[in-house]
Structure 1
Amino acid sequence: MKLKNIFLKTKDEIYTHQKIINISLVLFILILILVYSFVKINYSVNFKDLFNYTPKIIQGIFTTIIISIFSLIISLLIGIFLTVLRNSKFLPFVYFSKIYVLFIRNTPLLVQIFLFFYILGTAFNIENRYILAPFILSIFSGAYISEILRSGLKSIDNRQIETSISLGFNKFQTLIYIIIPQLIRIVIPPLSGQFISLIKDSSLLSVISVSEITKTVEEINSLNFRVIENYLILALIYLILTIPIYYLSRYLEKRFSFGYRD
């Protein structure tokens, strides 16, 4: 048993070392390409001016995070609501869900931002763009979350539900003990991907003058005229915001997988 544990430990260590080496190699190649590109266009990189706007950048990051979190919560509620409607036996509810998803998924987010902000926002007298922004993103993201949940439900074998009923489970118990645990395991990866997309899509809110991180960087561009450096930092900020979500989803996926051992 000890020999087996030592073997597994050694195997894991070898895999970890190989992973570090490969990641380092890829990063080195990417940096090399970037440096070569700057040399080729004869561009001198200077990040010093950007440090003068650190408080402004932090405020932009904070705004992006807050909008993304509220958008995620609201879009989850919208997605669940649409999934319930889609599985309803009342046909108007079913077709409402289908038309909603069809419209949202087949029109650009940028167009939807303009439509919802200038038409619905004006119609309902919502003048605060920071209140309206999470709802606009949620309306968009909710359609995708609805499809994720619907496909997750369809992937659960009906025989499991029939077996639970034959064992005496009621509908609520079947939902809690059979459907939801499997659904969580199935939908965590695509949901995390949708949340990452939500953070990136928040950059389009700059068109309605929401001062999230992209709008902040655009304002800094007009002050220091270091466009390349500013957008490089912007890309790095989005990586810092999204990569932890990716690894968290991987961890949760393992936790909810059958046979997982801590």
Structure 2
Amino acid sequence: MKLLSIFIRQENNKETNLQRAVNIIIACGAFIVFFFWSMKRLNLSFDFSVLLDFKYRLFTGFITTIELSTISLLVSLLIGFLSAMGSKSKILPLSYFCKTYIQFIRGTPMIMQVYLFFYIIGTAWGISSRFIAGVLILSIFEGAYISEIIRGGLDSIDATQLEAAKAVGLDSKQTMRLVIFPQLIARILPALAGQFASIIKDSSLLSIISVIELTQTIREISATNFAIFECYLFLGLLYLSLTFPLSMVTRAVERRFKYDN
């Protein structure tokens, strides 16, 4: 029974370090076994040494993806916050403008928006830099989703807490800093973490306008050496190396903002 307890979560929903380590190893092992079993059924073998000749290009593409995602993350947060506030505004034209933007972006695929904003709007306004265009496209797309996350978080906070803050003499800035903001962060952080990971992954779609980020670099390399499986499997690992640490950091911040802390 003691051995089986390693695989059972306790009644208080907590896990020991031993439980966590053992079960992570088992889960990862199951994925690895399934993957290599599938390879064996197809008689596939990978040779990643073909990528060594392109290590500088891969490094450059990797750095470009980080720069693109980081800048887009910051800009999309700003866009999301402003559009969330705008959609709740009492000024109706502003409110409906923000709501229309959110509905249009969320209701259409990003690949269509890439072509629309780059070849039509970008050309009309003289945006020649593909990197800047990529940042704007990615930020506008992700900003709509972040806006809904923020709006939902604000709506989930009970209005009676605002009344209680007034009753104890807090002004609007103190209410936002001491009452609203801590709860808002704790409630929206899990959803924002997923959205931040999406920013990194969605940056791959900018390869269709030849932004030389990681995916475009891999496409060019695979067209040269025809090692398609090796290239795209390595691409997945590189994206995972970016999204996994982000997930770990977000969990740490989420624990920091829990009410019992």
**Shared fold per TM-score greater than 0.5:** yes
Letter of the aligned partner of 2:221 in structure 1?
I
Map 1:142-221 → 2, pairs under 5 A: 142-221=143-222
Post-superposition Cα deviations, 1:39-67, rounded to whole Å, max 9, x if no partner, equal 21122211111111111111111000000
Q: 1:246 & 1:54 partners in 2: Cα distance?
A: 27
Once the 2 structures are TM-superposed, how far is the Cα of residue 225 of structure 1 from its aligned partner?
Answer: 0.9
State TM-score, norm by structure 2: 0.92
Which moved further from structure 2: 33-42 or 105-114? Answer: 33-42
Name the residue aligned to 1:118: 119
Q: Which residue matches 1:3?
A: none
Distance 1:177 1:24 in 2: 41
After TM superposition, give the deviation of residue 222 of structure 1 in Å.
Answer: 1.1
- Amino acid aligned to 2:200: I
Single out whichever of 161-170 and 122-131 deviates more from structure 2: 161-170
Which of 167-176 and 239-248 deviates more? Answer: 167-176
2:98 counterpart of 1:77: no
TM alignment of 1:1-262, pairs within 5 A: 15-260=16-261
State the superposition RMSD in angstroms: 1.5
Measured against aligned partners, the alpha-carbon deviations of 1:88-138 in whole angstroms (never above 9, x if no partner) come to: 111111111111110000000000000000011101001110111111000
Deviates more, 1:48-57 or 1:196-205: 48-57
Which moved further from structure 2: 26-35 or 199-208?
26-35
Rounded to whole Å, the distance in 2 between the matches of 1:22 and 1:173 is 44
* Counterpart AA for 1:43: L
Separation in 1, partners of 2:167, 2:175 = 11
Paired position in structure 2 for 1:4: none
Paired residues in the alignment total: 249
Q: Give distance in 2, aligned partners of 1:27 and 1:87.
A: 44
The one-letter code sitting in structure 2 at the alignment partner of 1:179 is I
Per the TM alignment, residue 259 of structure 1 is displaced from its structure 2 partner at its CA by 2.1
Counting aligned pairs with the same residue, the percent is: 45
TM-score scaled by structure 1? 0.92
| Structure 2: gaps (5+ residues) | 1-14
**Counterpart amino acid of residue 54 in structure 1:** K
Q: In structure 2, what residue type is equivalent to 1:152?
A: G
The offset of 1:218, in angstroms, is: 0.6
Shift in Å, 1:175: 1.4
> Displacement of 1:18 after TM fit?
2.1
Tell me the distance in 1 between the aligned counterparts of 2:240 and 2:66: 13
User: How many angstroms apart in 2 are the aligned matches of 1:84 and 1:228?
Assistant: 45
Gaps of 5+ in 1: 1-13
After superposing the two structures, state which structure 1 stretch, 185-194 or 212-221, moved more. Answer: 185-194
